[in-house]
Amino acid sequence: MSGNERPPVLKVQDLAVYYDIHDGGLLRQQVRPLKAVDGISFELERGETLGVVGESGCGKSTLARALLGLVPPRRGRVLWLGEDLVGLDEKALRRKRKELQIIFQDPLASLNPRMTVGDIIAEPLWTFYPKIARVQVEERVRGMMKMVGLLPNQINRYPHEFSGGQCQRIGIARALVLNPKLIICDEPVSALDVSIQAQIINLLKDLQRKLALSLIFIAHDLAVVKHISDRVMVMYLGRAMEVASARHLYRRPLHPYTNALVKAVPIPEPGRRRRGAEETGLRGDMPSPMNPPTGCVFHPRCPWAVKRCELEVPPLRRMAEGDWVACHRAEELDLTIVKHAPGTV
């Protein structure tokens, strides 16, 4: 699926975002860094979809915002078509925003309640083409609405008059109206009913194919990501644990954390009783990113942790078949868990 020779559209190198946390008593105020994203690197090709999975608070949304320059990174580079976006001034960055767009998690909250659907979708157009004629804007907006499966005659309605799934379609139309090349989807279906989730995922997939978009698709649910991604990056405490092709990841995860995520996916079958903590193999909660564990950040929760894991940070290493993993014991562990029904590939 991913041709290796084409230059990537997006190349991220050692990206890190820290938030300053003001902390301490009244007298002795301390500023401590919260390492939300800490050294993420990846590449994305034209037309490719990268899934990003991890628990909330692991830095997925921060990563998305940093890629768009909505939060300033502490270090690292974001090369968009060869040009570094980090360090660009507000104006230059604004121009780039035509090419990179974002879709948010909460479909209703991401739409201004006092604007009509038509105005919401048209806002990026007004911003970049202030002189464009009204009729043209309207025509374009109606076209977009139709493309995302909304009835164009609803153009004068307000967000609260639509259901969650429809609001997400509006958000998608707004993101697409400027013909971007990359769309970052920050948990676009987490707030939707499962029955509607599938609609939105299928829509995004259709649009991607039709418009040759590159997608970064963020979710906390591996099962959701599976259906849309070519490759998947698993994040934990601001770091990448594994970057692997979707097929490999689900058949044989390389990292114990990926394994836990795979096991957490609920199975709608009565025989398969789940027993939360024990069965996912995850002990306890995610530690605070304010003071991440030493060595492998996953070691306090990892069932396979050994002494070495406490001491040494495992680097993200390239494994067979072009997959990457950050675990000392990746070779020894056999985490094959996903059994397929006979007769399927």
Partner 1 sequence: MPLLEVKDLHVRFETPEGEVHAVRGLDFTLEPGEGLAIVGESGSGKTQAMLAILGLLAENGTSGGQALYQGADLMAMEPHELNRHRGRDIAMIFQDPMTSLNPYLSIERQMVEVAMHHQGLSRREARVHAVEMLRAVRIPDPESRIRQYPHQFSGGMRQRILIAMGLLCEPDILIADEPTTALDVTVQAQIAGLVEEVVQRSGMAAILITHDLGVVAGVSDRVLVMYAGEMVEYGTVEQIYRSPRHPYTRGLIDSVPRLDRADDDALHAIPGNPPNMLSLPSGCCFRDRCSRAFEACAEAPELRDAGDGHLKRCHLEEAP
Partner 2 sequence: MKSSEATTAGVGAPAAELDPFEAALHLGDVKGRSPWEDAWHRLLKNRAAVTAAIIMGVMILLVIIGPWVISWDMDYTDWDHTQSAPSFANGHWFGTDAVGRDILVRTLEGGRISLLVGLVSTLVSLVIGVSYGAIAGYYGGVTDRVMMRLVDIIYAMPFMFFVILLMVVFGRHILLIFVAIGAVNWLDMARIVRGQTLSLKRMEYVEAARACGVENRDIIRRHIVPNLLGVVMVYVTLTIPQVILVESFLSFLGLGVQEPMSSWGALVSDGAQDMESAPWTLAFPAAFLTVTLYCFNYIGDGLRDALDPKDRS
Closest separation between CB of residue 36 and partner 1, Å? Answer: 14
Between 179 and 294, name the residue whose CB sits nearer to ligand SF4.
Answer: 294
The option from ligand SF4, partner 1, partner 2, none interacting with 300 (CB < 5 to 8 A, set by class) reads: none
Asked whether the beta carbons of 254 and 323 are under 8 A apart, the reply is yes
Between 223 and 316, name the residue whose CB sits nearer to partner 1.
Answer: 223
Closest separation between CB of residue 296 and ligand SF4, Å? Answer: 3
The option from ligand SF4, partner 1, partner 2, none interacting with 283 (CB < 5 to 8 A, set by class) reads: none
Closest separation between CB of residue 125 and partner 2, Å? Answer: 9
The option from partner 2, partner 1, ligand SF4, none interacting with 256 (CB < 5 to 8 A, set by class) reads: ligand SF4
Residue from 30, 75, 87, 146 in contact with partner 2 (CB under 8 A): 146
Interacting residues with ligand SF4 (CB under 6 A): 255-256, 296, 298-299, 302, 304-305, 309, 314, 327-329
Between 179 and 288, name the residue whose CB sits nearer to partner 1.
Answer: 288
Examine residue 70 and tell whether it contacts partner 2 (CB under 8 A). yes
Closest separation between CB of residue 109 and partner 1, Å? Answer: 13
- Name the residues that contact partner 1, by CB under 8 A: 55-57, 163-166, 193-199, 201-202, 205, 220-224, 226-227, 246-247, 250, 260-270, 272-280, 282, 284-286, 338-341, 344-345
